[in-house]
Amino acid sequence: MVILFIVLGIVVVLALWIIGVYNNLVTLKKRVENAWSQIDVQLKRRHDLIPNLVNSVKGYMKFEQETLEKVMQARARAVSAQGVGDKIKAEQELGGVLGRLLAIVENYPDLKANTNVSQLMEELTSTENKISYARQFYNDSATKFNTKIEIFPNNIVVGFFGGKFEAFPLFEVTEGERETPKVDLSF
């Protein structure tokens, strides 16, 4: 009788523990998925803003028509890209030419004085930042999730649920993007 109760107790504790781990993983997974969708939202915004900026700087930048065209082409490729791999590649390219355009605009004082242009510039700069921050958050939460499902004993629980919990791919930090600096708090 006593043994039965002990066994029953162990089973209940185990079941509660599995429920805890499972719920924790589901929460984390939702967070990663949400982070991913945030990146999409910001990319969409980038695509919407680019034609506006190009149209309003066209008149001023007679000598930079080539850059403007490159931006529009890269945008078209990014919009029509299919599949995650292609999308990431096209967006990276677009980010590159867009960064160059924003740098060039800085050199035209007339342009910067134009309120419409400077507003668009601010919106695009902000969107570019949002894209990289959204990716940063995605990477942080995906890393956390990936670690959680691999450490012992969580990996056993993950095994029970088959393919429900799989590691998320990470964005690689491209050149020019900032790595986490170190802050020493052991003073």
Partner 1 sequence: MAFTVDFYEQGRKNVRKTIVLVVVFLVMMAAFGLIIDIIFGILPIFTLIFLVVALVQLLISLSSGKEIVLKSVRAREARQDDPEERQLKNIVDELSLAAGMAKPPDVYVVDDDTVINAFATGRKSEDSVICVTSGLLKQLDREETSGVIGHELSHIVNRDILIMTLISALLGAVVIIQLMAFRALITYVRFGAFGAATRSRRSSKKGDNSTLVILAFLAAVAGLGAAFSFIGRLSLLAVSRTREYFADARAVELTRNPVGLSRALRKIVTNSQKMKTANIATAHLFISDPLKRHINNKSSFFASLWSTHPPIAMRISILENRSLKEVESELASYL
Interacting residues with partner 1 (CB under 8 A): 31, 35, 38, 42, 115, 118-119, 122-123, 125-126, 129-130, 133-134, 136-137, 140-141, 144, 178-187
Report whether 50 contacts 67 (CB < 8 A). no
Residue placing its CB nearer to partner 1 in the complex, 62 or 178: 178
Q: Which is nearer to partner 1, 82 or 180 (CB)?
A: 180
Contacts of 58 (CB under 8 A, 6+ apart): 68
Tokens of 62: 């007679």
CB of 145 to partner 1, least distance (A): 12
CB of 63 to partner 1, least distance (A): 27
C-alpha–C-alpha distance, residues 55 and 158, integer Å: 52
The span from the CA of 163 to the CA of 159, in Å, is: 8
Tell me the closest approach of the beta carbon of residue 102 to partner 1, in angstroms. Answer: 13
Nearer to partner 1, 38 or 56 (CB): 38
Q: Name the minimum Å distance from CB 46 to partner 1.
A: 13
Burial of 57 (0-12, 13-18, 19+ CB in 10 A): buried
